[in-house]
């Protein structure tokens, strides 16, 4: 694998990220997402008909076939157009939501705007989520540039990613996080669509979620630890050892982050939570929902599936996860997503 030497360019960085996450082992080394610490109580008398299980749900005013989205990943370089088109076609077919990768490159020039706008063309009916990073938000003077990014893809929500760990390790990273919360508040007040605040694999704590909810954020994607390590990705991009290597496994495991953030639903009942970070099957989707998530997301496993096995392979994996979710619902006696959200789940270790 050859990484592009023009590291300062946003496009080549986005390309490197896809290459590295698909080809290299950038999972957390020791830490898991901690969903293995949570168990449903098996129901030997579910008293429901498997074929009547209804997994549909509403997200961003649109119906999904089950509570699932492909998390924000790519855009902003030539080959990203095909990836985003294929992701969008599969999401449209499966009736699940899709996020695009950081649209920072589209702020710099218009060379690759179509690598983003293709998603709406290929997926006219599903929820589409725009994306920008914390460092752009910290410097935000005028929210109209972000509104334009949202309009470019007719987004139903706009995600802001908080990635201090990645910026810390990235050679060209931006580590001035002053003003991010203020920028988020501006966007919450000015954008025509809801703001989603997400991490990218190090999780969101109760205190951070509270600050976000206090400024009006109503969608939080915990994007916790246990799946893709963004410290790992940036360490491999550097290609030489450094003091940052010790941070490979840094972060709050997804299940722990979800438990912390879901506490806030008591004070902010309209808060919508997305559970993501190392999700690899339908039982973890079911556990997330029972632990108060409204929607569940996954990134790297789905990208790998698309690149390695094409659209058919991605379609098959999503079908499997959907069937596994239904299987878990049958075995706990939950006929609907609402019933699953009210199903007991216990911490076992």
Residues in contact with ligand FMN by the rule CB under 6 A: 17-18, 21, 71-74, 101-102, 131, 159, 161, 198, 200-201, 223, 227-228, 276-279, 298-300, 303
CB of 20 or CB of 335, closer to ligand FMN: 20
Per DSSP, helices labelled H in 220-299 are: 230-238, 254-262, 282-290
Helix (H, G, I), strand (E, B) or coil at 250: coil
Rounded CA separation 161/5 (Å): 25
Under a CB-based contact definition with an 8 Å cutoff, are residues 68 and 324 in contact?
A: no
Cα–Cα distance between 242 and 220 in angstroms, integer? 32
Residue 257 or 260 with smaller CB distance to ligand FMN? 257
Q: Which is nearer to ligand FMN, 217 or 279 (CB)?
A: 279
Shortest distance in whole angstroms from residue 266 CB to ligand FMN: 26
Q: How far is the CB of 339 from ligand FMN (least distance, A)?
A: 26
Pairwise CA distance, residues 206 & 264, whole Å: 7
Shortest separation between residue 115's beta carbon and ligand FMN, angstroms: 12
Whether 171 contacts 136, CB under 8 Å: no
- Closest to ligand FMN by CB, 280 vs 336, is 280
The minimum distance between CB 336 and ligand FMN, in angstroms, equals 26
Q: Are strands 57-59 and 62-64 parallel, antiparallel or unpaired?
A: antiparallel
Query: How far is it, in rounded angstroms, from Cα 190 to Cα 46?
Result: 47
Instruction: Pick between residue 285 and residue 303 the one whose CB is nearest to ligand FMN.
Output: 303
76's tokens: 């902003």
Cβ count near 164 (within 10 Å):
17
What's the min distance (Å) between Cβ of 319 and ligand FMN?
18
Whether 72 contacts 99, CB under 8 Å: yes
Residue of closest CB approach to ligand FMN: 227
- Tell me the closest approach of the beta carbon of residue 244 to ligand FMN, in angstroms: 18
Q: Give the nearest distance from C-beta 288 to ligand FMN in angstroms.
A: 12
CB of 117 closer than 8 Å to CB of 150: no
For ligand FMN, give the closer residue by CB, 159 or 285: 159
Nearer to ligand FMN, 91 or 299 (CB): 299
Strands 345-347 and 97-99: unpaired
- Cβ distance to ligand FMN smaller for residue 20 or 53: 20
Minimum CB–partner distance for residue 238 and ligand FMN (Å): 17
CB 122 within 8 A of CB 81: no
DSSP string over 27-79 = B-SS---SGGGEEEPP-S---S-GGG-B--EEETTEEESSSEEEPP---SSTT
């Amino acid at each position: 694998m050859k990484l592009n030497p023009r590291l300062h360019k946003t496009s080549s960085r986005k390309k490197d990220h896809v290459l590295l996450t698909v080809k290299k082992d950038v999972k957390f080394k020791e830490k898991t997402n901690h969903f293995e610490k949570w168990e449903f109580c098996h129901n030997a008398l579910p008293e429901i008909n498997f074929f009547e299980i209804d997994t549909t749900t509403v997200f961003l005013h649109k119906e999904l076939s089950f509570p699932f989205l492909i998390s924000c990943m790519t855009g902003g370089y030539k080959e990203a157009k095909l990836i985003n088109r294929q992701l969008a076609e599969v999401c449209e077919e499966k009736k699940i939501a899709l996020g695009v990768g950081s649209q920072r490159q589209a702020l710099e020039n218009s060379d690759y705007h179509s690598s983003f706008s293709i998603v709406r063309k290929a997926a006219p009916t599903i929820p589409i989520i725009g994306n920008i990073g914390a460092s752009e938000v910290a410097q935000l003077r005028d929210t109209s540039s972000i509104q334009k990014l949202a309009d470019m893809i007719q987004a139903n929500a706009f995600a802001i990613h908080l990635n201090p760990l990645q910026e810390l390790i990235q050679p060209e990273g931006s580590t001035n996080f002053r003003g991010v919360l203020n920028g988020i508040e501006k966007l919450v007040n000015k954008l025509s669509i809801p703001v989603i605040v997400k991490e990218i694999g190090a999780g969101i704590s109760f205190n951070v979620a509270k600050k976000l909810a206090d400024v009006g954020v109503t969608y939080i994607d915990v994007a916790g630890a246990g799946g893709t390590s963004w410290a790992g990705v940036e360490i491999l991009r550097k290609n030489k050892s450094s003091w940052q290597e010790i941070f490979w496994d840094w972060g709050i495991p997804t299940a722990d982050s979800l438990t912390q953030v879901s506490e806030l639903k008591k004070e902010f009942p309209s808060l919508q939570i997305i559970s993501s970070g190392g999700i690899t099957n339908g039982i973890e989707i079911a556990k997330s929902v029972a632990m108060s998530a409204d929607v569940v997301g996954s990134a790297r496993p789905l990208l790998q599936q698309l690149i390695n096995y094409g659209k058919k392979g991605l379609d098959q994996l999503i079908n499997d996860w959907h069937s596994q979710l239904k299987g878990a619902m049958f075995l706990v006696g939950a006929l609907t997503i609402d019933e699953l959200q009210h199903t007991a789940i216990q911490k076992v270790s």
